[in-house]
């Protein structure tokens, strides 16, 4: 499967949903600290970028 510039994948949608879930407590007032949500979002984006970079370089971790 090839990826085009500007195309969104299922992984992108998953990241958006996870970010929404991570920020929901601070947006609805259930959480008193904003730092908690910011840390969760930063972690999700870091994993997303790391896994996206690994996928785009063709690194699968399998040794031949």
Q: Is residue 46 part of a domain?
A: yes
Q: Report how many domains make up the chain.
A: 1
Q: Is residue 24 part of a domain?
A: no
* Mean local confidence (pLDDT), 40-47: 87
CA distances to 5, 12, 41, 44, 45 from 48, in Å: 17, 8, 10, 6, 5
Q: Is residue 5 part of a domain?
A: no
Q: Is residue 44 part of a domain?
A: yes
Q: Is residue 34 part of a domain?
A: yes
* Mean local confidence (pLDDT), 12-27: 84
pLDDT reported for residue 60:
61
**Percent of the chain with pLDDT strictly greater than 90:** 0
Model-level pTM?
0.58
Q: Is residue 43 part of a domain?
A: yes
**Unique residue bearing structure tokens 């609805």:** 28
Q: Which domain holds residue 48?
A: 30-59
């Amino acid at each position: 499967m090839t990826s085009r510039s500007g195309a969104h994948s299922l992984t992108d949608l998953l990241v958006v949903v996870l970010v929404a879930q991570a920020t929901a407590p601070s947006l609805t007032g259930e959480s008193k600290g904003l730092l908690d949500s910011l840390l969760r979002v930063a972690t999700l984006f870091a994993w997303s970028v790391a896994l996206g970079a690994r996928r785009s370089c063709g690194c699968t971790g399998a040794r031949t």
